[in-house]
């Protein structure tokens, strides 16, 4: 233990005596570690964003839709398989016939790119308009910040009412003014705002707060199109029964669509966390590529450190001769340079890890996933620093330990 402390003390003295060289070396290491930890922490932040966005509906929710969740990434990726559109009659019939302890909603994407106006103010043309029933807010994982939900009479009559996302309220109304009871325009039609949704975040760019919801009948009347398809969301009141209820839902919808037992389903049933799992699975290739890039950067840093340590051995040849003349063995000299290399790596790596955490959290905050500390990558970074220090310092340490003490003392 005293031997280790003594060598660390000597290493710190050497670093202090050659500050500029030591700082440059540490920067080389910190850049390599920052690239590795920063990229991988950023990918973790993206994964958290995907999880937060797609599991916000809850673990006890599933959706019946007209397309599967396979996402095509790259030329050889698997393309999503389209199924026949789910009609309004099919969706409503399912809601009426599915008598289980669940909350069922029917909704449709009325528009992807609407522009909302209030007096002279207007939003960008990127607002999603959903047509829904009175249960949609619950099954989709939204909560009301103020105002109220639709009632069944307003749904069936197609009333000109709307519930808007928080970002829309911020864009159209002054800071201290509530949007509730105000009249806005969606396209050419006027709607009375009856509710504002709590912020949900725009994780992974899916626009959770850039939405507005109108009654389902109203959406069919004013946004209807021949290929309009409807989505069925089912929220199980008992998460333990989710798998059983999901299988029963498949059976009921197969019956509605008159699918024979020998034929495959022509619709897709997906749990809230399935898409998140799929996207995170596709991120594994990105993670592998980022890891390789980070390791290549770190390899360059290790070569730079080895080169600087070899120069240090040459410059300190006379010092090595003096230490050997005073009784230092080859083992002591070797450990001195190895420990010095590790100390430089750890000091530089600590700064690189700090920068990597900052990069990861900047991306995390941009995705509204909050501050996090990537403990796994911090520990991995420390281990890598020590390993790089040992590998980079071994050859210079071996060369220093094998120097002849007489020749070293004569070195000018």
Residues 6 or more apart from 131 whose CB is under 8 A from it?
A: 107, 108, 110, 213, 214, 215, 216, 217, 218, 219, 220, 223
> Of 85-94, 276-285, 321-330, 387-396, where does the model show the most confidence?
85-94
Say which residue the tokens 């440059």 belong to: 24
Measure the CA–CA gap between 300 and 277, rounded to whole angstroms: 35
Report the pLDDT averaged over residues 66-73: 59
Does 374 score more than 90 pLDDT?
A: no
Closest CA to 231 of 63, 79, 343, 96: 63
Choose among 268, 233, 305, 266: nearest CA to 22.
Answer: 305
Domains of the chain, residue spans? 2-53+279-410, 61-271
- At 73, is the pLDDT very low, low, confident or very high (cuts 50, 70, 90)? very low
Listed residue (296, 317, 299, 318) closest to 307, CA to CA: 299
pLDDT at 8: 73
The predicted-structure confidence for 224-238, as pLDDT tens digits, reads as follows: 888 889 999 998 887
Listed in sequence order, the residues at least 6 apart from 240 whose beta carbon sits closer than 8 Å to its beta carbon are none
DSSP summary character for residue 201: -
Rama region for 85: left / alpha / beta (φ>0; ψ in -120 to 50; rest): beta
* Closest by Cα among 59, 83, 81 to 71: 81
State the average pLDDT over residues 125-144: 91
What's the confidence (pLDDT) of residue 44? Answer: 77
Per-residue DSSP letter, 241 = G
Compute the Cα dihedral for 251, 256, 260, 263 and give only its sign.
negative
Evaluated on CA atoms 43, 48, 53, 59, the torsion sign reads positive
| More confident site: 300 or 188 | 188
Q: What is the pLDDT of residues 363-373, one digit of tens each?
A: 777 766 667 77
Banded pLDDT at 50 (limits 50, 70, 90): low
Distance CA 313, CA 395 (A): 10
- At 280 the pLDDT is 63
Bigger pLDDT: 303 vs 370: 303
Q: Which residues fall within 8 angstroms of residue 184, CB to CB, at 6 or more apart? A: 116, 117, 118, 162, 164, 172, 190, 191, 193
Non-local (6+) Cβ contacts of 23 within 8 A are none
Strand partners, 286: none
pLDDT at 206: 46
389 burial (CB, 10 Å; 0-12 / 13-18 / 19+) is: buried
Residue 36's Cβ-side half-sphere holds a number of Cα atoms within 13 Å equal to 31
- Please write the tens of the pLDDT for every residue from 381-409: 788 888 887 887 787 787 777 776 666 56
Q: Quick check: 147 pLDDT over 90?
A: yes
134 confidence band (pLDDT: 50, 70, 90): very high
How high is the pLDDT of residue 399? Answer: 77
Tell me which residue has tokens 């420990």: 339
User: Residue 254 has which token pair?
Assistant: 């197969």
Residue range 2-13, pLDDT digits in tens: 667 776 777 777
pTM: 0.58
**Regarding beta strands 231-236 and 268-271, do their DSSP bridges make them parallel or antiparallel, or are they unpaired?**
unpaired
Which of these, 226, 247, 227, lies nearest to 236 by C-alpha position?
247
Distance CA 16, CA 4 (A): 18
Question: What region, left, alpha or beta, does residue 74 occupy, with left being phi > 0 and alpha being psi -120 to 50 degrees?
Answer: left
At residue 112, the pLDDT reads 87
Q: What is the CA radius of gyration of the chain?
A: 32
End-to-end CA distance of the chain: 35
In which residue are the tokens 């043309």 written? 125
pLDDT for residue 287: 75
Q: What is the dihedral of CA 76, 78, 84, 87, to 10 degrees?
A: -120
Q: Is the model more confident about 54 or about 189?
A: 189
Which residues lie below 8 Å from residue 22, measured CB to CB, with a gap of 6+?
15, 16, 344
CA angle 353, 355, 360 (to 5 degrees): 90
In the predicted model, is pLDDT for residue 107 greater than 70? Answer: yes
pLDDT at 1: 59
**Backbone conformation region of residue 66, classed left if phi is above 0, alpha if psi is from -120 to 50, else beta:** alpha
204 vs 89, more confident:
89
**pLDDT computed for residue 157 by the predictor:** 93
């Amino acid at each position: 233990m005293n031997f280790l402390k003594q060598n660390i003390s000597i290493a710190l003295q050497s670093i202090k005596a050659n500050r500029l060289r030591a700082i440059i070396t540490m920067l080389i290491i910190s850049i390599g570690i920052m690239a590795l930890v920063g990229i991988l922490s950023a990918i973790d932040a993206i994964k958290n964003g995907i999880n937060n966005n797609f599991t916000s509906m809850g673990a006890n929710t599933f959706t019946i839709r007209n397309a599967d969740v396979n996402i095509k990434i790259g030329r050889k990726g698997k393309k999503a398989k389209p199924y026949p559109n789910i009609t309004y009659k099919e969706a409503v019939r399912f809601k009426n016939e599915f008598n289980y302890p669940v909350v069922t909603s029917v909704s449709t994407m009325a528009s992807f790119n609407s522009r909302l106006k209030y007096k002279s103010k207007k939003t960008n043309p990127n607002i999603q308009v959903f047509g829904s029933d009175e249960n949609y807010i619950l099954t989709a994982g939204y909560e009301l910040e103020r105002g109220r939900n639709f009632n069944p009479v307003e749904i069936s009559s197609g009333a000109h009412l709307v519930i808007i996302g928080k970002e829309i309220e911020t864009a159209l109304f002054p800071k201290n003014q509530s949007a509730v009871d105000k009249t806005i325009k969606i396209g050419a039609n006027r709607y009375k705002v009856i509710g504002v949704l709590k912020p949900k975040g725009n994780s992974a760019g899916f626009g959770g707060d850039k939405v507005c919801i109108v009654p389902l009948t109203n959406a069919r009347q004013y946004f209807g199109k021949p290929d309009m398809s409807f989505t069925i969301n089912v929220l199980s009141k008992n998460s333990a029964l989710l798998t059983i209820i999901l299988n029963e839902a498949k059976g009921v919808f197969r019956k509605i669509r008159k699918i024979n037992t020998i034929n495959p389903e022509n619709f897709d049933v997906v749990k809230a966390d399935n898409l998140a799992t799929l996207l995170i699975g596709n991120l594994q290739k990105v993670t592998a590529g980022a890891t390789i890039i980070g390791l290549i950067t770190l390899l360059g840093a290790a070569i730079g450190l080895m080169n600087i340590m070899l120069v240090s051995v040459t410059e300190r040849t006379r010092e090595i001769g003096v230490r050997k003349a005073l009784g230092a063995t080859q083992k002591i000299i070797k450990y001195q340079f190895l420990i010095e290399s590790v100390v430089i790596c750890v000091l530089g790596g600590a700064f690189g890890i700090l920068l990597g955490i900052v990069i990861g959290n900047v991306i995390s905050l941009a995705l509204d996933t909050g501050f996090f500390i990537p403990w796994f990558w911090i520990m991995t970074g420390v281990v890598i620093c020590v390993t790089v220090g040992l590998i980079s310092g071994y050859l210079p340490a071996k060369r220093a330990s094998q120097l002849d003490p007489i020749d070293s003392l004569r070195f000018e």
